[in-house]
Structure formats: C-alpha cells, structure tokens
Amino acid sequence: MSDTTLRKEPAAARAANMPDYREAVAEFSWQAERDALAGLSDGGLNIAHEALDARIAAGLGDVPALRWFGRDGTEIIFTYAALSREANRFANVLASLGVRPGDTVYSLLGRVPGLYFAALGTLKSGAVFCPMFSAFGPEPVQARMEIGSARVLVTSAALYRRKVRGIRGRLPDLAHVLLVDGEEEGCTALAPLMAAAGDTFRTAPTRPEDPALLHFTSGTTGRPKGALHVHEAVVAHRATARLALDLRPGDLYWCTADPGWVTGTSYGIIAPLVIGVTMIVDEAEFDPDRWYDMLAREEVTVWYTAPTAIRMLMRAGAELIGKRRFPKLRFMASVGEPLNPEAVLWGQEVFGMPFHDNWWQTETGGIMIANYASMDVKPGSMGKPLPGIEAGIVAVTEAGVKELTKPQAIGELALRPGWPSMMRAYLHEAARYQKCFRDGWYLSGDLAMRDSDGYYWFVGRGDDVIKSAGHLIGPFEVESALIEHDAVAEVGVIGIPDETAGEIVKAYVALNKGYEPNEELERELLGHARKRLGPAVAPKAIVFRQNLPKTRSGKIMRRLLKARELGLPEGDISTLESDEK
C-alpha cells in the first residue's frame, strides 16, 4: 500500500456532486435515484428514452450530444435531437426487418457514428444490444453471436469480409447483416434503409427487468460468458456517473474506452447522455500527441481512461505536452485494471490533479468502488464503495462465507446483491451464475483488503495470488513497486512452483525506450524490489519481454503468462491483443 495521501482542498470538495461521502451514504436511496428518471407510462423504463427523449423534453434538444472526430480530423456534431432522429430511424429499420423486443442485435464496428445510432435505436426498439470489439477475429465473433442467438449484425464491409463472411454459415439465427458502408453479397446496405425510415418512433414499452444489454467477459477457461443486463441498469449508470465521475450537464466528457467493451457502452454512451453532457468520440487509435491535443483544444472537463493508456502517456514523456494547457479539465478517472500509485502521482504532477481509480466488473454493470472528487486519494487504492453499495472482505470456505472485519485482512471482495445494474444472468449458464452468489453476497473473484480508513485495495484475482513460504503476495503490489523504476514500462507478475517455498515470485518486464535488457539491469531491478518490498515479497526472477500479453481492453493477462511458463492450456484467449511469447 502507498503511504502517500493526496488531500483534497475544502473548496474542491464543496464543489463536487457529492461534497461529503458519509452524508451521501447515510442519505442515499436507490428508490430516490429511480424517481429522478423520467420513466415510461405504467412504470415502464427504457435506457434510450432516458438518454434521448427525456433530455429533449428537459430542453437539451439543441445541445450537442456527440462530437465525433474522424481519423482525418473531420468533425461531425450531433445534437440530442439529431441523435434521437438517427436512433429512431434505426429502430424503424429494425421494425421493418421484423425484429421484435427481446431479439439480439450485435454491432461489430469501430468508433463510428453508426454504432451510436444502432445502440440507442436497438434499445429504443426493445431489442437487446450486444457490442463486439472490432479487432476480434472470426472465432470470438462466432462464439459471441452463437451464445446470444444473434438476429441482426451491424458492421462494415471490410469487417464483414475479414471476420464474418467465413463463419456466416455457422450462424443460423443471423437473419440480417447491415453494412454501414459498401456492399457485400448476402448483406444489406444500411444507408438506404435509414434514408427511407421515419425519424420518429414510439419507444417500446419496456419494463425495468426487461433485457437490454448483453456484454461478454472471458473466463480463465472455456467459452466467454454473456452477462445479461436489464433496462433498470440506467438507474445505476446515472447515479454512478454523477457520484463517481462527477459528471454534470454542460460537461465536455471524453471516455476513451471502445464501445465494444462494457465501459465504452455504460460510460461511453448511456451514462453521459442520461446526465446531459456533450461526449467527445475519437475514431482514431491511441496517439499521445493527438490525445494531448484533444484534451487541450476541445477543453475536455472530465476524462475517463484506462491504466494502460496512462502508462503509455507516461512512457511517451510529459515534454510531449509542450505548450498545451488544460484549464477546463477538472476530473480524471481510470478503470480497466488497478492503477499503480506511480500513475496516480504522475497525474498530479502533470495535470495538477490525480487520476481517480475505480473498480467494477462486466457483471456489476457499473462502478461499485471509487475515489471521489471530494475525497482524499490514497494512490493505489480503489477507493470506497458507492453510496447504495455494501461491500465486504470475505473468506469463502465449504462451510460458508464469513466477513473479515479486521483491517488489512486479505479476502475475496464481495457485494450485497440488489443494485440496479447487477447482471441478471450468464446467458444459458444458470449454474455458473448461481455460483457467483452465496450466503447473501455476490462473490467477485477478486482478492482485496480494506484499511482502517475504509479504503479498499486490490490484491489480485483469486487465481493470481501467490502463496510463498506462508505469505500471501498480491501481484499488483509487486508490479507497482517495479513500475516505480524509470526503466520499467509494464510488468506482469506470477507465481511459479518451488519445492521449498511452494511458489516464488517471477516478474515479466517490458522496458521504456532507452533501456536495454541485460544482467546489470536485472540485478538493479531485483535490488529495487527487495528494498521496496522486502526479500519475502520481492521477485526472485525477472524476464525481459518486448511486449506482454494483454486483453484488447489493456489488462495484462497474468494467467496466460503462467500457462506459458508452466506449459498449461491457455484457455479463452479471444480477447488477446498482444501475442508476444
């Protein structure tokens, strides 16, 4: 744990959406959050209605909802009214194709406007929306569409040719492939259908518990799991965006997550629109110079990004910022994997404010634990539970689940079920779903600890934790210590079998530019880790790698490092981005 605490100025705390954490926890009510939404008649609820129609009714029709930047710098602005019209057209297209409420509509697209029309139009129609990351290969695309019985796929001609055409015959439920550009045999051009469709649509009378979103998450073995979320999830999307991201109407908000992932849907489409902000969407891939330019030129006020991107910016060097300034930027947050203390402090040094890490999962549907705008930040900590969320550290045995109340006790991070964005099922896997719930707790599978101030600290996935000579060692702690060294860009830590200690710690390290792997640097890093962590916790071996295997959302795949080290089955690698062995 970091022994540094970044204190919040009283004036900054008072200006936040949640000025006092303890008061907010005491006063919070999910029912009050539900009542704050417009809703449909007779108790109905629809995510797209809250994101578009309710905002227009509140007078935001002419306010920019989406500012889209193409790779070539082209900018297109869609107001709330214009975005609503496009969503209505897409909903009418689905109706003309015979798509019914409950059918599943998939997208396989980059960050293009058509993706946003499809997501919101699908939700408005009452169908279930399932985004897929555009860099997936044919096999993960096929697995996801099979599990969800895909009825409609929205994609581009190029992506169809590369990823779908060869598997089309294995998807009997796939009735329609709609192309946002170009033409392909067996597909339908979407543009003419949109042009012919009306721009008004009566939102389907969905109920709070009706299925709305299908998000896939990979397990350590087997096929990906389809986590099903309902329209009531919008209650949590709105509440968490206000409290954890400090979003408010009038903000210029940039969520860098791809909408193919749950973050890019929950906080890259739904939450900001329900709050009434203007979203920045950049079609281009990560580029440090372009990102700094976007933050400064567009005067972004709230920025939500990922630890991998932050570390890549650190690697590029702060001098790249040049004369750019960010006077409007007031809040920065991070999610995807734990954020190392070094990156939190780097944010303070470079931007004058820390990155606020938060924790949640595909299964939780929304942010559960966070560092807040009004709260002191302990670098490396996940923060404290959201108002309305009861979290605990538990020990799970055959006899049952026991809460561990002693500070610093390591156990499984668990939540009391019942929040609105909680997944309602793993599609077609009832037994797997039920295993997540026991004795009144949702078991996250993550190991964590809680300090005496109530801050939670990530230790590792349950199967990542290293047991060495009687010590429980969290890989994140070791990784954070190593990444403090100027030479280290990325690091992944695993435990490998040892006859004496049971397991020993081994680290895989990718270096920053200007550093070469050699024995001298290895000894230096081992010494640095021993000094920071002590000999019982520090790694016994370091391996240099040009790249580390990561998911396409940026998480280092420790289990894959371990499988390759020990010659074990690699399991589901459909989300693998880098395959450097």
Residue 220 has pLDDT above 50, yes or no: no
Helix (DSSP H) and strand (DSSP E) numbers for the chain: 20, 28
Q: Cα–Cα distances in Å, from 403 out to 65, 393, 395, 433, 464?
A: 44, 6, 6, 21, 21
Q: What is the pLDDT of residue 470?
A: 57
Q: Which two tokens stand for residue 226?
A: 């389809």
Instruction: Give the H or E element holding residue 79.
Output: strand 75-79
Alpha-helix residue ranges (DSSP H) falling in 75-198: 80-96, 113-125, 138-147, 157-159, 190-196
Q: Cα–Cα distances in Å, from 286 out to 32, 65, 113, 308, 321?
A: 39, 23, 19, 11, 15
Domain covering 10-450, topology: Rossmann fold (3.40.50)
Range in 198-207, 411-420, 567-576 with the lowest mean pLDDT? 567-576
Q: Each residue of 460-470: pLDDT tens digit?
A: 777 676 777 65
Range in 60-74, 168-182, 291-305, 496-510 with the lowest mean pLDDT? 496-510
Query: Which band of pLDDT confidence, cut at 50, 70 and 90, is reported for residue 566?
Result: confident
The three-state secondary structure class of 537 is coil
Residue 479 has pLDDT above 90, yes or no: no
Q: Cα–Cα distances in Å, from 190 out to 97, 113, 159, 187, 332?
A: 12, 13, 15, 9, 37
Sequence-distant (6+) residues with CB within 8 A of 22 are none
Domain ranges, ordered by start, for the chain? 10-450, 465-566
The domain 465-566 having CATH identifier 3.30.300.30: the answer here is yes
Strands 437-438 and 441-450: antiparallel
Is the CB of residue 549 less than 8 Å from the CB of residue 579? Answer: yes
Q: Which two tokens stand for residue 441?
A: 């707790």
Q: Each residue of 11-67: pLDDT tens digit?
A: 888 899 999 999 999 999 999 999 999 999 999 999 999 999 999 999 999 999 999
Instruction: Give the H or E element holding residue 521.
Output: helix 519-533
Query: Which band of pLDDT confidence, cut at 50, 70 and 90, is reported for residue 409?
Result: very high
Q: How far apart are CA 4 and CA 377, in angstroms?
A: 9
Q: How far apart are CA 381 and CA 142, in angstroms?
A: 38
pTM: 0.85
Q: Each residue of 338-359: pLDDT tens digit?
A: 888 999 999 999 999 999 999 9
Range in 50-59, 65-74, 248-257, 304-313 with the lowest mean pLDDT? 304-313
* Cross-strand pairs, 395: 402
Residue 81 has pLDDT above 60, yes or no: yes
* DSSP code for 375: S
Q: Each residue of 93-138: pLDDT tens digit?
A: 999 999 999 999 999 999 999 999 999 999 999 999 999 988 777 8
Strands 541-544 and 188-189: unpaired
Is the CB of residue 525 less than 8 Å from the CB of residue 508? Answer: no
Instruction: Give the H or E element holding residue 310.
Output: helix 307-316
